[in-house]
Amino acid sequence: MELVTDDLPEIEDLLKELDLSHLTEKFYSAGFTESRYIMRMKAMDLRMMSMEWGVDREAIQKVLFARYLQGITVFLQLLLIAHVPTTPSGPGRHKEL
């Protein structure tokens, strides 16, 4: 399953939300110029980042948690789309029984 990145904030905003804004320049220097690149980082990428940049485990957990939340959000959106009934009175409106 591919990560959906349509609603991700700009990279600066994402790093700010994750309390990692102090690493913005390091992310840019490493080629992470968009939020979707950060959200696609694998566990090994994050471990390497922690060793090379001196990032603590808590920061890595924040990135992993953000990625997890993004996946849950997309999953819930897909569930809502799949289960919204369409009736003559309009999408999402239930007919009276």
Tokens linked to 95? 């007919």
8 A C-beta contact, residue 53 and residue 95: no
| Global model pTM greater than 0.95 | no
Res 25: pLDDT: 92
Q: What is the DSSP code string of 56-89?
A: -HHHHHHHHHHHHHHHHHHHHHHHHHHH--EETT
Topology given in CATH for the domain delimited by 11-91:
DNA polymerase; domain 1 (1.10.150)
Q: What string of pLDDT tens digits covers the 97 residues of the chain?
A: 455 556 778 888 888 888 888 888 988 998 888 888 887 888 888 888 888 888 888 888 888 888 777 777 777 777 777 766 655 555 555 555 4
The pLDDT score that the predictor gives to residue 95 is: 52
